[in-house]
Structure 1
Amino acid sequence: MTDSPAVARATGGVAPLAPGENGLLDVGAGDGPLPDDEAAYVGASKAPATVAAYRSDWAEFGDWCTREGHRQLPAPPAAVSGYLTTLARAGAKVSTMSRRMAAIRFFHGLGDLPDPTSPARVAAVWEGIRRKHGAPPDQADPLMPPHLFDLVAATATTRSFRTRPDEPDLAGARDRALLLIGFFSALRCSELCALTVDDVLPHDRGRTLVVPRSKTNQRGDQAELVILPYATHPEACPVRALDTWLELAGVTDGPVLRRVSTGNRATPGGLHRASVHRRITALVSAAGLDQLPKKPNYSPHSLRAGFVTWAHLRGASDREIAAQTRHRSLASVGGYVRVATAWDKNAATDLGL
């Protein structure tokens, strides 16, 4: 039930954003609908992925309120606590429920309405859910040598056709660039997908990558720099893989990493997180790593995690690692390597027993 004027244009039925759209266009304030240009700036205040998630979460909450006979805006605390209880019983992750609470707070805040997630009733239900259902996040395994090079070796090199001569496989060339750039640069997946040709600067020791915006620099106040060095071995060199891909694909501007058509041609559109995840999963299978007794849990984040872990095992300090990863907190760097180094210099291994 969304009969409040605080949210205009059918807030309860907000559709997810179309790809590339970045605006909370259905949001209004307590004194009426926001003009489209103002609403667009509201949308730009959040990352595109956050905007899409909030809209989807708000629509889900609206559907639940309609079914249960609650008012969505302003929502009573009983609606929020009941909604959280329903989600918890259905097995929703704590992180998912936390984000949905954030969406509810956000839309109420835009309407200058009280936060329905803050009353003691909701806080008590939420604390109970976290205690009973909370679990450590499902962390991706770090992707580093030798498995990194197993995946590189599993990429296709030649594409055969019935009506024309064999050609270098563009998807394979792109995947090699994806893996090696992702590992050496330690870019976040969103940054890797957003990388453009103009962001790649020449350097006598490799390439310098410009990151205009990032998770910790969302407004783009100052571009961040990441290095992409030459590697000693050609097959492991990210610069060689990058140059080979760009040359074969004929890419001179726009996104660096792109989709490849069935006809072995690079398309104008860039990759996104889901497509990167699919490529890594496919290469894990092609390399036979999914047949290991313990199948590795690799995701797009595994490349960044792999860089941190491998650099640490090679003796790099947390500060040196953070110079590449751009972590603001050195404690965040340590979190990546805790599992890999749990046995290092641990008194439990030297008890004389």
Structure 2
Amino acid sequence: MTPHTKLAALSAPSWPPEPEIDDELRELEAVSRGLETHTLSANTRRAYVKAWRSFETFCAVHGLDALPAHPETVRWHVAWMSVQTDEHGLPRFSVATIRQRLAGIAEKHLREGLLDPTGHRGVTGLVRGLAKLRATRAVRKRPLLLDDVLRIIRAMDHDVYPAGVSAARDELAIWLGFAGALRRGEAAALSLKSMELNRLDGVHIHVGASKADQDNSQPDVVVLPFGGSPRTCAPCAVHRWVALMGACADRRSTMRLLYGYQLDTHVCGADGSTPLISSADLDSATPLLRATYRNRRSARIHAQGVTGDALHTMLLTRMSEAGMNPSAYGFHSLRSGFVTQARRNGADPSDVRRQTRHKSDRMVEIYDREWLPLQRNAVTSLGL
């Protein structure tokens, strides 16, 4: 059999004739189509569209049928992806990417009422073999611990204009990632209404739907607790940034807030201090972490929110400004830093999961093995 041979594709039984439908059923069909768009996240839909286009192109080049596709056609596509390299000679498609591409091919077939060719044993066995051939340990971002976080924050120009505007936002973003253990996409998606001032706890954050809870059905509250020191107080960062957002239309008010900052004094209500904002200031669906623009003389806070990628870039920039090498770090370093710092300080895995919202202790165990190899390790009982 040559690659150009037309292969018989596996297909489901033919559909029965479509029944006559009235106007109401046509409207319900439109509603059902709209609901279907929410079965997958936007990122997943984009990835599947890209996967299908790539597969269609491959089939067109080699004269093969893409829909319905024969399992052998999919095997050849997997083999093709496995040998593609980039300009550095490294694999262009990781095993994870290849699996994602196959998921896109499967989704297209199933939506068309066809059998899934990617589930054939010849395809799954090929991917399994490639995974073993390329077996490597995942490279995880190194954690940023509390001392690292404070070093980054101290290097910012907080009480000067206009640099202090973006410094206030970036400090809050860092505390959201570290104390809140939020992923960058979760932090970027927060609105003012996501925040709730609590006189006993500090600030409650309602994360809502997220990567790990796309149905928004799990408990979603995380806490930014009052800090023992204003320098480690995440609620103070919330108050400072939200107050600046309220004053952003007036340059003098913004400058007055920045110059009046007492970074060594609570501004969140802790220790009898006067809070800068109230719950009424959070009664808005506008983004919490909003984009900023500044030059040497002025600063503006835009209406649109920042992206998760922008938060990642911001952290690396702030690390460089603090004299740190950011090459092994990312925004996820704040979340992994939360786990590592909490475990170093004696927190149980179940306590850690209350904040990270992991469903099991497995991920906490991974952090322990990567960054706390002596944690609960019998080697400490050898008497060395």
Would you say same fold, with TM above 0.5?
yes
The answer as to whether partners of 1:194 and 1:255 remain within 8 angstroms in 2 is yes
- Structure 1 partner of 2:272: none
2: CA distance, partners of 1:352 / 1:143: 31
- Structure 2 partner of 1:267: 302
- Structure 2 partner of 1:288: 323
Q: Find the partner of 1:196 among 191, 198, 222.
A: 191
- Structure 1 partner of 2:260: none
Superposed CA offset, 1:143-170 (max 9, x none): 22222122212333366xxxxxx44532
TM-score, normalised to structure 1, is 0.81
In the TM superposition, residue 210 of structure 1 has moved relative to its aligned partner by: 1.0
- Structure 2 partner of 1:258: 290
* 2:208 counterpart of 1:207: no
In the TM superposition, residue 120 of structure 1 has moved relative to its aligned partner by: 2.2
2: CA distance, partners of 1:31 / 1:152: 67
* CA spacing shift, 1:321–1:352, aligned 2, 3 Å: closer
The secondary structure found in structure 1 opposite 2:214 is coil
* CA spacing shift, 1:118–1:231, aligned 2, 3 Å: same
* CA spacing shift, 1:30–1:202, aligned 2, 3 Å: farther
What is the letter of the counterpart of residue 282 of structure 1? T
The secondary structure found in structure 1 opposite 2:205 is strand
What is the letter of the counterpart of residue 339 of structure 2? V
2: CA distance, partners of 1:144 / 1:260: 27
The answer as to whether partners of 1:156 and 1:171 remain within 8 angstroms in 2 is no
Pick 1 or 2: higher relative contact order, CA cutoff 8 A, min separation 6: 2
TM-score, normalised to structure 2, is 0.75
* 2:75 counterpart of 1:81: yes
The secondary structure found in structure 1 opposite 2:237 is helix
Report 1:80-229 matches (<5 A). 80-90=74-84, 91=91, 92-157=93-158, 166-167=161-162, 169-204=164-199, 205-221=201-217, 224-229=220-225
2: CA distance, partners of 1:57 / 1:170: 42
2: CA distance, partners of 1:36 / 1:281: 46
The secondary structure found in structure 2 opposite 1:227 is strand
- Structure 2 spans left out of the alignment, 5+ residues: 1-14, 19-27, 85-90, 249-280
- Structure 1 spans left out of the alignment, 5+ residues: 1-28, 160-165
* 2:338 counterpart of 1:320: no
The secondary structure found in structure 2 opposite 1:72 is coil
* 2:330 counterpart of 1:299: yes
- Structure 2 partner of 1:24: none
The secondary structure found in structure 1 opposite 2:347 is coil
RMSD over aligned Cα atoms = 2.5
The secondary structure found in structure 1 opposite 2:350 is helix
In the TM superposition, residue 135 of structure 1 has moved relative to its aligned partner by: 2.2
The secondary structure found in structure 2 opposite 1:285 is helix
User: After the TM superposition, which of the residue ranges 112-121 and 207-216 deviates more from structure 2?
Assistant: 207-216
What is the letter of the counterpart of residue 120 of structure 2? P
* CA spacing shift, 1:296–1:30, aligned 2, 3 Å: farther
Paired positions, count: 314
* CA spacing shift, 1:230–1:350, aligned 2, 3 Å: closer
User: After the TM superposition, which of the residue ranges 324-333 and 218-227 deviates more from structure 2?
Assistant: 218-227
Give % identity: 28
Q: Find the partner of 1:311 among 305, 323, 342.
A: 342
* CA spacing shift, 1:117–1:247, aligned 2, 3 Å: same
- Structure 1 partner of 2:244: 248
